[in-house]
Amino acid sequence: MLLAKLHQAPGLSGGVTRLLRCLRSAVHVLLVALLLPVAQAVTLVVEPVADTSIYRGDGFDNISDGAGPHIWVATTAGGVTRRALVRFDLSAIPTGSQINSATLRIFESRSRDVHAVALHRLTRRWGESASNGGDAGVGAPAAPGDATWTVAFFPGTPWATPGGDFVPVPSAQADIGPQGGYYSWSSTPALVADVKAWVDAPAANFGWIMIGDEVTIPPKAKRFSSRQSSVPSVRPSLTIDYTPPPEADAAEVPLPAWALGLLGVGLAACVGRRRNTARRY
């Protein structure tokens, strides 16, 4: 702004005007060099900081699986319905970042069929504690702080609606199964919006609930590896591509040494060009 005003000031000689024009060009190049790295996208892969399963069935309302090696969805042959809850820490992403995509990947280790499993954004905080149902899929008695079908934190703090408090419309859904292996919920505008909301308001980050087919007969049970799996490569993961927000105004940020050096080179080139021009005349 200052250089532009000087350039337009009356009474300046042609040589001074050319010098200011050259100086302004050098400053523009410097600003571009400073700002370009900030605009680059970043890819972050994170594992859950909490996951568990909740159970609905005769005698199962106070069952959980907070520390177990698996999380479970859909209905068993015995008529027990299971849902999985998962939450990720997104504090590594700067507030105000642009979220370009978000993809959740999970490893299925047991399945009866292929069917759609939906991700719904949870609207209430919930707990993961010490219950461990092992490999059988029947869970274990809830420990203090565990989420169950009836409460967000055992033994108190009931859900407003048994089975979890969540947004009715899914943020994403994907056909999972029938064979074991890796499956993903690809990025959707709703998944991106969920992540964006959690980055900008971490206190509202309650994660997602996974809901499979709880209606169709025969049973549709599925087993996924949890964050407590002894094999790190099969733990759930969330991959986020984001662009950090612009830095503060350049006038308020001290220039690094390399930037000052670049500006000096530009000014030296300007002065040299002016001297060469003067010699020709």
Give the model confidence (pLDDT) of 131-146 as tens digits: 999 998 999 999 999 9
271 and 138 in a single domain? The answer is no
160 and 197 in a single domain? The answer is yes
132 and 18 in a single domain? The answer is no
Number of domains into which the chain is organized: 2
| Model pLDDT, residue 28 | 58
Q: Are 230 and 240 in contact (CB under 8 A)?
A: no
11 and 122 in a single domain? The answer is no
Q: Are 26 and 263 in contact (CB under 8 A)?
A: yes
53 and 24 in a single domain? The answer is no
206 and 236 in a single domain? The answer is yes
Domain that holds residue 21: 2-39+252-280
| Model pLDDT, residue 172 | 98
21 and 98 in a single domain? The answer is no
Q: State the virtual CA torsion across 109, 111, 116, 122 in degrees, nearest 10.
A: -50
Low pLDDT (below 50) residues in the chain:
1-6, 9, 12, 35-36, 248-253, 278
User: For residue 192, which of 117, 125, 97 has the smallest C-alpha distance?
Assistant: 97
| Model pLDDT, residue 268 | 64
35 and 80 in a single domain? The answer is no
149 and 16 in a single domain? The answer is no
81 and 126 in a single domain? The answer is yes
Name the phi and psi angles at 6, rounded to 5: -65, -40
